[in-house]
Amino acid sequence: MDPKYIRNFSIIAHIDHGKSTLADRMLELTGTVQKREMKEQLLDDMELERERGITIKAHAVTVVHRKDGQDYVFNLIDTPGHVDFNYEVEKSMQACEGAILLVDASQGVEAQTVANAYLAIEANLEILTVLNKVDLGHARPEEIAEEIENSLAIEATDAARISAKTGLGVPEVLDRIVDAFPAPKGDPNAQLRALIFDAVYDEYRGVIVYLRVFDGTLRKKDRVLMIGTDKKFEAVDIGVFSPKMISRDQLSVGEVGYFVSNIKTLGDVRIGDTLTLERGPTPEMLPGYKEPRHMVFADFYPTNPKDYVTMRDALDTLSLSDSSFSYEAVTSEALGFGYRCGFLGLLHMEIIQQRLEREHDLDMIQTAPSVTYKITFPDGSEKMISSPGALPSPDKFDQVLEPIVRVAMIVPSDYIGVTMTISNDHRGVFVRQEHLSPTRVQLIYDIPLAEIMYDFYDKLKSATRGFGTLNYELTGFEPADLVKLSILVNGDEVDALCAIVHKSFADPRGRAILKKLRAEIPRHMFEVRLQAAIGSRIIARESIAALRKDVTAKCYGGDISRKRKLLEKQKAGKRRMRQVGNVEIPQKAFLSVLGSE
């Protein structure tokens, strides 16, 4: 295929602005998929994607569009819109020359619209602006075009106006892609250089590698070398997605497709690596990707300890289809054996949890999510920790630094005050305010990531009646007055309930946890003390009274000393039981505390 007739592009937008629907119409109008085989969000093949109506993994597909009597091959990548899956968007852009920036003509520029547009600009992609949902009665295409120019400095007066649902204007967009996006550049006669931009695991075929050829040609049966990992494989099968896998004899400059060999584990493939031929000189590697940075950590424990090995196998299987989360074995005195997992964000964590429960039928307890903290020591060394149990005693380190994120919130002008109040309550530092239009404002704050994780987004949505959107990116670490909040049951620390919190929030947080525990832990034959502590200082306490049997019930009259003797005997028994008795904390007590964190 002559590279001048190839166009590689991705579709980027905020959540629910119509990326997957536009991809559906393109597949339909180009005849790639027959109308009888068509269904909504065709490329979203994961059950959770279809149920939630969101894209979680980027999906590549090859379509052929005819313009002026010439066939053009479009390699289209449908990308996720949620902030947690920015990593998928960045990966996709490296395989493209252009990006369709899709904006809802009724909702306008949202937080992820801004973030994804900047990613495309940084990747030096040509941007084609498209206004979607113009068939809605409350669509405001003129206003939104002005908003795009004001907030992104991207020309939008001649933006294509379409309805991805009905197909209105989509044929014109297909024609404009030919002129708007450049053809891929590369030397077909040079040594092979192909970028690995994704990989998935198939239980029948092993690892399927997604790649984009930049130089040279890849043919079936070629022996190839992955430069970064120094692994060598044979090209058993190569081809394109249309949208099903269609085998080809070769892939040349500019083409996007797949590569299958006898690769058994995803660990043998590194996303961002360069593929070349084993024979001949080894070329310079293509610019790859930064490793995904895990923002959130949580521990998963099987409710039934016998499911520990099953959970390990399930995590192994999930890591084959999603290389952007990590896991390692941990133990807890309260919850037994489990795994600490690292995620890109809270939604990513929720998706993994639901996949474990649904696809692998696991019942489990999840600890409260925590972020990564940086500790500095007197000798100048540093250490990253991701759990409260790893925090040393205060005399061992100089300071704790917490991750700070730059949060961009786009809200209607009427809700500026309440949004600022919420941000300030979560220890936010005001950076700037930008007016996108007479009715919409972007507020920029620096806020600790730990504050974003719990209830910030819910409060923002409630306060702005659902109109507020946010995007965040990590900017660095800053020192803060952080302490380890320990939860003690009868003097013993329950590691699963401990947390690293800001000192000013420790008291109310500790009291709230103790009240929930008191309601869920059943009464024992002895008094149970529940305490919240910072170091050796107790900051909150609750008590669960002992169950008492009326030992004097059968004493009718007689000397009072008989009753006293029985009561003293009971008291001594309670003292002894308190010293040797174990407090049983039911699973629902952990769930009541951890589920609300």
165 is in an annotated binding site: no
**Burial readout 196-219 (b: 16 or more C-beta within 10 A, e: otherwise):** bbbbebeeeebbbbbbbbbbbbbe
304 is in an annotated binding site: no
For residues 7 and 97, is the Cβ–Cβ distance under 8 A?
yes
16 is in an annotated binding site: yes
19 is in an annotated binding site: yes
3-state secondary structure of 488: strand
Q: What is the DSSP string of 266-283?
A: GGG--TT-EEEESSSPPP
Two tokens, residue 429: 């530092």
244 is in an annotated binding site: no
138 is in an annotated binding site: no
17 is in an annotated binding site: yes
Please state the φ and ψ torsions of residue 218, each to the nearest 5 degrees. Answer: -105, 125
Please state the φ and ψ torsions of residue 575, each to the nearest 5 degrees. Answer: -60, -45
For residues 300 and 338, is the Cβ–Cβ distance under 8 A?
yes
- Whether omega for the bond prior to residue 243 falls within 30 degrees of 0, making it cis, is yes
From the list 137, 123, 132, the residue with the least C-alpha distance to 156 is 132
From the list 542, 536, 539, 545, the residue with the least C-alpha distance to 489 is 542
Residues 6 or more apart whose Cβ sits within 8 Å of residue 510: 485, 487, 532, 533, 539, 540
Two tokens, residue 85: 């899956």
- Residue 302 to residue 297: CA distance in whole angstroms: 17
132 is in an annotated binding site: yes
Q: List binding-site positions for GTP.
A: 16-21, 132-135
Q: List binding-site positions.
A: 16-21, 132-135
